[in-house]
Copies of this chain bind each other. A is one copy, B any other.
Amino acid sequence: MAKGLPQLQKFIDEFTTRVYKPAYKDPVCLVHTGNTDGWFKVVMTFCNPGEGVLAAEWTYPSAMNTTRPLGVTPVPVPIDEQGICGVGLRKILAEWDESARGMPRPRIMYTVPIGQNPTGATMEATRKKEIYEICVEFDVVIVEDDPYYFLQEGQYTHKSSRSISRTESDEEYIDNLVPSFLKFDYQGRVIRLDSFSKTVAPGCRLGWFTCNPLFAERLERQAESSTQAPCGLGQTMVTSLILNWQFNGYIRWLRALGTQYTQRRDFLLDCFSDEFHLEVEQEHKGAWKGNTVYRAYAVPRNARAMIEKTSARAPMFSFVPPTSGMFVWMQLHLNHHPAFPDETPVTLEMKLWEKVALAGVLFAPGRMFSCEDDGEASPVGSGHFRVSFSNVPFDTMKQAVGVFATEIRKFWVPL
């Protein structure tokens, strides 16, 4: 009763098999009413009050708002530029102390592995295999919430040295995508959530689970006594579109979408490059260790006369260019702010956010993504903004970065 249109079922079965190439022999696809509700159904079906779910220390707040009222507590896992990090995850699970933690060792891990919200982190194949094996060892079910999968944008290169030349076939395109956890899921412990919201239309509240038949049966029962099948009118529109395009047409659409997001990501970072003096460095410590990090100083790149002077000063913010998704995760070096430490990073983050918002530019303040109850997360002394490049026209983006640059420079001036 909650299976939806047979035509859509057939398509998502084929799509999942051909694109994600699941390792488990008989995965089941089941429609749902969007990934947020998909995650809610997973929590309702798999978690009991008093239990915990593993999640990245910075994570999509709605996902945590789903669990907390049900008495299910997020357990923050340290992340790096690829998201959840194996060493950190293993340490938490291996050293789990039930009485100290006040709950049993978590059996569910929530993750947005591609273009993570908010950090933009993308988990490559090697890391996924590592994480999967840890989950096998500690019997953890992996919930792969993957709405940004097809927004894979590749490495950012400065516009001066950028070249666009994609000549790969559809099959090569698929093979070159960062794989889903499904590809490594030989045991059937992955529940993947796919959404049409980021590929066909936001707000269409339509997506699907891919998981083993036992899990799928339970999730279907859960849907039958709540949402039932997703909206028939919406299903019909999406299915008509997709059947009209067929598999190859839909893949072509997804490729074009990825290309469009690559252009948006590039344009946004180019704007930062125009407005700030950016220095590109290899990070030697912390979560971004080994990564190419962009550090922003107050002065625009073209104000050559000032570079010498400003380079000596500390940067205002840093970021790692995302390779997927729609977000740049800006780390604000608030410990370099003139008012620090008289004012805490939390206060400074909100003060700057307010000034930028009042000037007409809305970034998401980092604190709201903290998986910790007290809103704090690593690294100490920093703040964050999540900057979205999902749906802003280029000229508006340019203007917004200009406004932000003006506001942060004013904000950083010693009193």
Residues from 203 to 255 in A contacting B, C-beta threshold 8 Å = 203-206, 224-234, 237-238
Q: Is A80 an interface residue (CB 8 A)?
A: no
Do A227 and B227 touch across chains, with their CB atoms under 8 A apart? Answer: yes
Q: Is the CB of A36 within 8 A of B225?
A: yes
A232 touching B202 by the CB < 8 A rule? Answer: yes
- Interchain CA distance A226-B205 in the complex, whole Å: 11
Contacting residues of chain A (35-72) with chain B, CB-CB under 8 angstroms: 36-37, 40, 62, 65-66, 69
* A201 sits at the interface (CB 8 A): yes
Partner of A40, one of B202, B205, B226: B226
Copies assembled: 2
Would you give the shortest CB distance from A342 to chain B, in whole angstroms?
37
**A258: interface (CB < 8 Å):** no
B228 touches A205 (CB 8 A): yes
Count of chain A residues near B, Cβ 8 A: 28
State whether B34 touches A225 (Cβ < 8 A). Answer: no
Which single residue of chain B is at the shortest CB-CB distance from A200?
A: B233
A82 to chain B, nearest CB (A): 27
Q: Decide if B225 touches A40 in the complex (CB within 8 Å).
A: yes
Q: Chain B residues near A224: list those with CB within 8 A.
A: 62, 65
B residues within 8 A CB of A201? 232-233
A31 CB to nearest B CB, Å? 12
CB nearest to A226 among chain B residues: B40
* Whole-angstrom CA separation of A226 from B233 in the bound complex: 20
Closest 5 CB pairs of A and B: A203-B232, A231-B231, A231-B234, A233-B234, A40-B226
Interface residue ranges, A against B (CB under 8 Å): 33-34, 36-37, 40, 62, 65-66, 69, 201-206, 224-234, 237-238
